[in-house]
Amino acid sequence: MRLNTKDFKVTSVKEVDLSRTSMINDLSVTEDVIRDEWIPKAIEQLRELQEKLFAEEKWGILVDLQAMDAGGKDEAITFIFSQLPSQGLRSTSFKKPTALDVKHDYLWRFQSALPERGEIAIFNRSYYEEVIGTRVQGQLDEEQMPDELVNEDIWQVRYRQINDFEQYLSENGFLVVKFFMNVSKDVQKERLLERMKDPEKNWDFSFSDVEDRDKWDDFQEAFKDLLVNTSTDVAPWYVLPADDEWLTRYLVSLIMIEHLKDLDPQKPKPSKEEQEKLDEYIKKLEKE
C-alpha cells in the first residue's frame, strides 16, 4: 500500500470515521524502516524547506496539534519539529485559561503565539479546546460570557468564528495546518499506564487524563463534530492513525513538506549593488 496524504485529509462530509487508529500492517513495512529510513529523509527535506521559509520571510505557518491525552502530540514535537533549526520555529503549549484570559474573548490568549513571517508556530492544543474540553466538561460558565450569548447554537457559532479566523490568517499569508492524532481507547490505556508506572515519566501524568476517559464517547463526538465543521480548503484537518506512533510522525513530516512545497519559498538573492559589495568584502577578507 502506498501512502497518499489525501487519504487522511478531512473533506466536506457529513461525518468523520474515527475507527482507523492504526494502519502500519496495511503498509507491509516495519516500524524500524519508518523510524530509521523514512523519517530521517523526510526531516532533512523539511529542514531545507524551513530554512527557505525563514530566509524569505513572506509566509508563516501555524500548526495545530489536537488529540486525546497520550495521543502523541508531545512526541511529534520532540521527534519531528525539534530537529528543525530553532530559528524560525516556536512551540506553545496552552493550559487552562488564567483569570486574565477569561476577561477577554476566547481567541485572545492565542494571538501572541501566532507565527511571524518566516516562522512555523506549533500549538500543542489550541483554540480548539474551546469547542472540545469546554464543551465536554461544561466550562462555559467560567468564561464570564453574557447569559444571552450562551445558548444551544454556541458551538456552531464558534465553528464559524474559528473558520473566519483561519480564513483571515490565510488571506494574510499565514497557512494553517491541523493534525488530529486519532488514538484508540485501548492504546491510550497502555500509554497512560506506562506513564503512571515509570518513575521517569509519571511526573508528566495528570489525574484528569484518567478522569477524561470516563467521558471518552463525549470527547469522540466533540472531535467528530469539530472535524466536520472546521476542515476547510484553506485550513484542512488531517486525521492520523496515532496508534502507530512512528507512522504518525512520518505523516506529519510528509504533510508539512507538501504544504511547504506548495508555498515554494525561495532564499532571497542579493541586488546588483549588494552583490558588488559582497564581492568587494570577499576580496577584502581574502587579502587578510
For 101-116, how does the pLDDT look when each residue is reduced to its tens digit (9 = 90+)? 999 999 999 999 999 9
Residue range 260-281: mean pLDDT, rounded: 92
pLDDT given for residue 58 in this prediction: 97
Residue 58: which CATH number? 3.40.50.300
Distance (Å, whole) CA 82 – CA 86: 8
pLDDT-derived band at 204 (thresholds 50, 70, 90) equals: low
Closest CA to 176 of 185, 164, 188, 190: 164
Instruction: Count how many domains the chain has.
Output: 1
Residue 60 pLDDT level (bands cut at 50, 70, 90): very high
The C-alpha cell that represents 73 in the structure block: 502530540
pLDDT, tens digit (0-9, with 9 covering 90-100), for 219-249: 999 999 999 999 999 999 999 999 999 999 9
Q: Exposed, middle or buried: residue 146 (CB in 10 Å: 0-12, 13-18, 19+)?
A: exposed
- Alpha-carbon span 71 to 252, nearest angstrom: 14
Nearest of 58, 63, 13 to residue 166 by alpha carbon? 63
Cα distance between residue 244 and residue 12, in whole Å: 26
Q: For residue 266, is pLDDT > 60?
A: yes
Q: Average of pLDDT values for 12-26?
A: 86
In this prediction, residue 139 carries a pLDDT of 84
Cell numbers 487508529 correspond to: 21
Domain containing 271 equals: 5-287
